[in-house]
Amino acid sequence: MKRTILFTITAIWICAGAAAAQEATAPKIMVLLPERIDVEWYWYFYTVETQHRVQTEVEKALLKAGYELVDLEAGNGLPEDTDIEHLLRTKPALETARTLNADMLVLGKGEAISASRSTAYGLNVYRSTADITAKILNVEDGKVVTVQDVTETQGAESQRAAAHKALREGGRKLGQKLVRELTPVQDRP
């Protein structure tokens, strides 16, 4: 009986220590993934209509894997006159990540364009293709950890709905790829 209790307490202590060690070593990650449908950009700080399907899917994957996220809105954010092309350059993005004490930065963009239009059973069917690219950078030294991309085509009854579906599904797949690259082999399911 005493051995069982001692063994149980030891096992709990070891598991708690391992969980604390894993939590302490998980890097803080900031995600910057604006998206564009045809020629119009959508992102938190850029357009009246905020749309961030790719970024949301990547953030969900990182959170599910146990990573800590740094939210751009938690700090001072960005100056109002910041344009997306400037932000997507590595140096300004790294400076923003450093300001918010992020350890790693996911930087990239998603772009969806109309792929086709057809009629099926009297309904218009639009197909849209999303190309999404992201790299993970070490904020301290700017070194690239990985570069990943995804191409996804989806269909819907409008071009915009098809683009949204393609961006969301592509973002989900990209999130899985990024998590796989960040997760050490021994910790993978």
| Distances from the Cα of 157 to the Cα of 5, 112, 124, angstroms | 62, 16, 6
The answer on pLDDT for 79 being more than 80 is no
- Dist. CA 74–CA 129, nearest whole Å: 32
**pTM for this entry:** 0.79
State the chain's mean pLDDT as an integer: 82
Q: Can you give the CATH number for the domain in which 123 is found?
A: 3.30.160
Q: Which of 141, 61, 72 lies closest to 104, judged by CA?
A: 141
Residue 135 belongs to a domain: yes
The pLDDT tens digits of the residues spanning 4-14 come to 544 444 444 44
Residue 55 belongs to a domain: yes
- Dist. CA 186–CA 139, nearest whole Å: 24
Residue 15 belongs to a domain: no
Please state the domain count of the chain: 1
The pLDDT tens digits of the residues spanning 26-48 come to 899 999 999 988 878 776 555 55
* Structural domain range at position 39: 27-187
- Dist. CA 59–CA 67, nearest whole Å: 9
Residue 19 belongs to a domain: no
